[in-house]
Structure 1
Amino acid sequence: MKNCAQPGDRINVTAAATTAAGDGVLVGSLFGIAFGDAESGDTLVIATTGVFTMSKVSTDAFTVGAPVYWHDSVGLVTTDDDTGSNPEIGLAVTAAGNPSGTVNVRLNG
């Protein structure tokens, strides 16, 4: 198709801060997982689709299919949309109880 700019599963963004591979990255409403390390101002490739094991708020409990929100200020996923200030980034594909440190998340893309 002549008007396809790119597949969209990986997007280049400018790192707003020092970022490590595997970190969650929020740019406006675009969320993805960093493919590599980057310093602030560097170009950073983020994955916008796929399933990733992500660190979560330890006291939150997820069921399979539950919406997953990104709490940007702490760099963790959560069950709380905080009255709309935490964007929904995907769905839990594994259950994760309280307490636990991670949950598998399928990104919305």
Structure 2
Amino acid sequence: MKATYYQRGETLDYFPTENVENGAVVSLGTRIGVAAAPISAGEQGAVHVVGVFAMAKANTEEIKQGAAVYYDAAAEAITTTADGNTPAGYAAADAVTTATSVLVKLLG
């Protein structure tokens, strides 16, 4: 098999079925991405799949640096609960229980 270079892979092309705001977390099935700019429904846009992003955190959890984290779409928050949630990456820093956000290193 021969491969041809396509892109760096830090962002991926994304075609949403509804409008997406800049910075919105989007599900890519088995992982998440973050919209690099507003994307209109049916139009091509870019989502970041590499990097560290501050994201809303489930307010009852303490998350330690390096812990695997997941995106809970219903709560629109990051959690350490895998069941029913989409893998997001890992915590890039500790987040105490009272913190409203956590730094997430995307799976990339």
TM-score using structure 2 length? 0.88
- CA separation in 1, counterparts of 2:12 and 2:71? 18
- CA separation in 2, counterparts of 1:34 and 1:6? 17
Aligned residue number for residue 37 of structure 2: 36
4+ residue runs of structure 1 moved beyond 6 angstroms?
none
- CA separation in 2, counterparts of 1:98 and 1:18? 33
- Identical positions, percent: 27
Deviation digits for residues 59-93 of structure 1, max 9, x if unmatched? 121101001101122322111112xx212221101
- CA separation in 2, counterparts of 1:17 and 1:27? 14
- CA separation in 1, counterparts of 2:47 and 2:70? 17
- CA separation in 2, counterparts of 1:23 and 1:4? 28
Q: How many residues align?
A: 107
Letter in 1 for 2:13: N
Aligned residue number for residue 89 of structure 2: 90
Q: Which runs of 5+ in 2 are unaligned?
A: none
Q: Which runs of 5+ in 1 are unaligned?
A: none
Deviation digits for residues 34-59 of structure 1, max 9, x if unmatched? 10112322222100001111111111
User: Residue 73 in 1 paired to residue 74 in 2?
Assistant: yes
Residues 91 and 102 in structure 2, CA contact (< 8 A), matched pair in contact too: yes
- CA separation in 1, counterparts of 2:40 and 2:61? 31
- CA separation in 2, counterparts of 1:36 and 1:87? 22
- CA separation in 2, counterparts of 1:97 and 1:12? 34
- CA separation in 1, counterparts of 2:94 and 2:102? 7
